[in-house]
Structure 1
């Protein structure tokens, strides 16, 4: 009985083995694996990376979903190379030696979603290469040697959403190169040799949302560079050291939420090109030699939440620089030349969450007191600001201050104008006047001037406020008379001083003058001369003018006579011949004299030769 039971168990296990073997054999038949590859029958993946392959294997599993052929020596893709792999979703041919792809090479891959051809040696993409890839969503052709994109290069890819074409040798993109790409949302054109934005080609990408330009040789951004990309949300322009200016309408038509212009050569914030970007949330202008952020110039960007200006040349951020930015949360100005950051640059510090202020030569005084008081609410990005230029606080970290030390250490001294005596200056019309206004304080106060109408004076013009705090009035006029106000101010307060200017009208000289009555009136002879006023003439000046006029007249006449004399000499001896003809009255004329008709008289005709 025991023996029968053992035989029964043996037969059962044998049947199961045969059944498993029967099932396994067809499976292996359906999914052969090339010798240089590794196949995962569960995940349906084929990995032929680093297989020293010189061509695509021919015995690939037909039900494969993903195929890795990277780091091989494949040079060419033949016609219909992958026609049996109808289930393939992801094909990676990066890091090969590809120089040529034949027409219809990918025909049959109708389900392919991702195609990677990066880091090969392709110089051109012939027409018809991508035929059959109707569902392709990602195309990576970066780090090749492609020189141009020709018309309709990608026409067969209606479902394509992302193109990665960075690090090629692109010098030209044809106007119709992106024709047919009605679904592309992301385009990378980094590290190419393009010298201008391919505006006409980009107009084909009607739903583009992300556009990246890195390491290009752009020298300027002309007007309307992206005017048809109404759905673009993210624009990145970086590593363009020749890019110095943005034209006023260069960003016209865009509705960006994120703009990055890093590592270029902008010396000022491009306020005018930015002003219409009312949906902008993120702005990055890092690593540009920008020296100042001016006041009241960013107020149109009322949705802005982040501003990055790392590694620039910032010397100052003016008061009210971020006025109107009610959602402002992050300011990163690390690695600049700032010595302070006053609270009045912000619309409100209550919304500020992150402040990057490290690696600046900060002077710890009352202007930075607000930062230390709000340090528990601020994220300094892992590196707290440090006092640098203050002698007694040099090297102190902002987190080192205790609450009791703040009032005594972070102080300012109000401004005081030196030589505060009233200045009254009287000058004649046309002279230049300079008023001096020197002030001291801690921090060093700024000096501004107001004219008699209480309006600020600019550094330009005939009446101007100089950078050293002085006021200059050039070619003073009577209407410049009045009281001017010098105002010296810093974070601790202000001081002022009045100066007075009296300009006398230019006096009229009466020595050796006589007046001509009844002469023509010369309108607008000078601002002080009326139309019916007698015009003065200096006798000496009149005699000199008359002498010069006579000499000019006689010189002209002499030249004419000399010219006529020389001309007559060139004609040689002249013979004079005179012929005189006499014509008597006609008979008809004599008979009609009594009738009152016209009477013809006798005529003499003389011809002189």
Structure 2
């Protein structure tokens, strides 16, 4: 019997570890990036893969922290009423789940032995402070979720290996200088639900961040479009803010944008030519604003497919508002245009106004009611 047990343990020790999924696969599964994003992703730096240590006897006979559930390299301590990070977390942990607790602080030594950590979830706690050296031993951390806490600023000395950072629903009023310095693998940044104004984003805040393709700053206090975000963005979400106008220079540096969300703002004016800097735009949300006419540059966006203009103040539609005069200019037809909730009389619109829309149901109207 002892011989059989010993041979079984030896077999486990030499078993091949499971490999972590590539992060781009993670994005596809969670619909973070567009389905029709560029096929050539060779210019995107692939994050360094987390080395998976071989299974040892310590892995098989570790002590699981109190109130936690442990599997091999996965520790779940969510909804456990914890007021601090539990001690004696197994050193080979790859994923640590501490969400929905009452943790108020991340101390210098709380995570010091977790050298192999890949994902750390601290969502919905009461964290007000993270020690500047709390992450110093983490060279392979890819996912860091700090959403719905009480952090007053971006934590300093974040791991340079991060690919996704979610810090929405905190108390951040300012993105300080070089807040993301050295984070050359960062692809996704979620910062919604913070009291952040446009003036709170310092000009050098994103210096050195060259591969950030997704930013969401929704439900903040932005009064205008930020002009100093990374220039290589594919998706930009600025919905539910206080933006009142779109100026000519607002999108000059974001020429790679595929999806833009400006819905639920207070936009009245869109300066002519301001959207012409977005030649690759596929989808734009302008619904629930105070726009009075169809933006002039839309008809010249060759690849624009989905246009959301409902619940605005548009009272008239001209025959060339959506479609260029030369059909060859438009590379892709519209799959959908929403215009309901506007004071426009749809029976007065010339049918030729939608000549570049695919399908009879591509345009959505509705009864305008005050």
Band of TM-score, shorter chain: 0.7 to 0.9
Alignment counterpart, residue 190 of structure 2, candidates 146, 164, 169 = 164
Larger radius of gyration: 1
Whether the 8 Å CA contact 1:30–1:62 is kept in 2: the answer is no
Whether the 8 Å CA contact 1:224–1:251 is kept in 2: the answer is no
Alignment counterpart, residue 366 of structure 2, candidates 331, 335, 341 = 335
Q: Which 4+ runs in 1 deviate beyond 6 A?
A: 18-25
The TM-score normalised by the length of structure 1 is 0.49
Report how far residue 137 of structure 1 moved: 0.9
Structure 1's 274 and 332: CA in aligned 2 closer, same or farther, altered over 3 A?
closer
State the distance in 1 between where 2:246 and 2:62 align.
Answer: 55
CA RMSD across the alignment: 2.5
Q: Partner of 2:57: helix, strand, or coil?
A: helix
Matches within 5 A, 1:364-443: none
Matches within 5 A, 1:60-99: 60-79=89-108, 81-99=110-128
> What's the counterpart of residue 255 of structure 2?
230
State the distance in 2 between where 1:19 and 1:323 align.
Answer: 73
> What's the counterpart of residue 314 of structure 1?
344
Q: Partner of 2:353: helix, strand, or coil?
A: coil
List per-residue Cα deviations over 1:166-206 (Å, max 9, x = no partner): 0110022111111111010000010001111111x12xx12
Report how far residue 58 of structure 1 moved: 2.3
List per-residue Cα deviations over 1:345-388 (Å, max 9, x = no partner): xxxxxxxxxxxxxxx9xxxxxxxxxxxxxxxxxxxxxxxxxxxx
Report how far residue 14 of structure 1 moved: 5.0
Q: Partner of 2:284: helix, strand, or coil?
A: strand
Q: How many residues align?
A: 316
Instruction: Write 1 or 2 for the structure with the bigger share of strand.
Output: 1
State the distance in 2 between where 1:113 and 1:18 align.
Answer: 36
> What's the counterpart of residue 173 of structure 1?
201
State the distance in 2 between where 1:21 and 1:295 align.
Answer: 76
> What's the counterpart of residue 45 of structure 2?
none
Alignment counterpart, residue 38 of structure 1, candidates 45, 51, 69 = 69
- For structure 1, which runs of at least 5 residues remain unmatched after alignment? 1-12, 338-359, 361-609
> What's the counterpart of residue 191 of structure 1?
219
State the distance in 1 between where 2:169 and 2:316 align.
Answer: 38
- For structure 2, which runs of at least 5 residues remain unmatched after alignment? 14-55
State the distance in 2 between where 1:143 and 1:166 align.
Answer: 6
Whether the 8 Å CA contact 2:59–2:92 is kept in 1: the answer is no
The structure with higher relative contact order (CA 8 Å, sep 6+) is 2
Whether the 8 Å CA contact 2:294–2:321 is kept in 1: the answer is no
Q: Partner of 1:27: helix, strand, or coil?
A: helix
Instruction: Write 1 or 2 for the structure with the bigger share of helix.
Output: 1
State the distance in 2 between where 1:321 and 1:291 align.
Answer: 18
Q: Partner of 2:113: helix, strand, or coil?
A: coil
Report how far residue 288 of structure 1 moved: 1.5
Q: Partner of 1:94: helix, strand, or coil?
A: coil
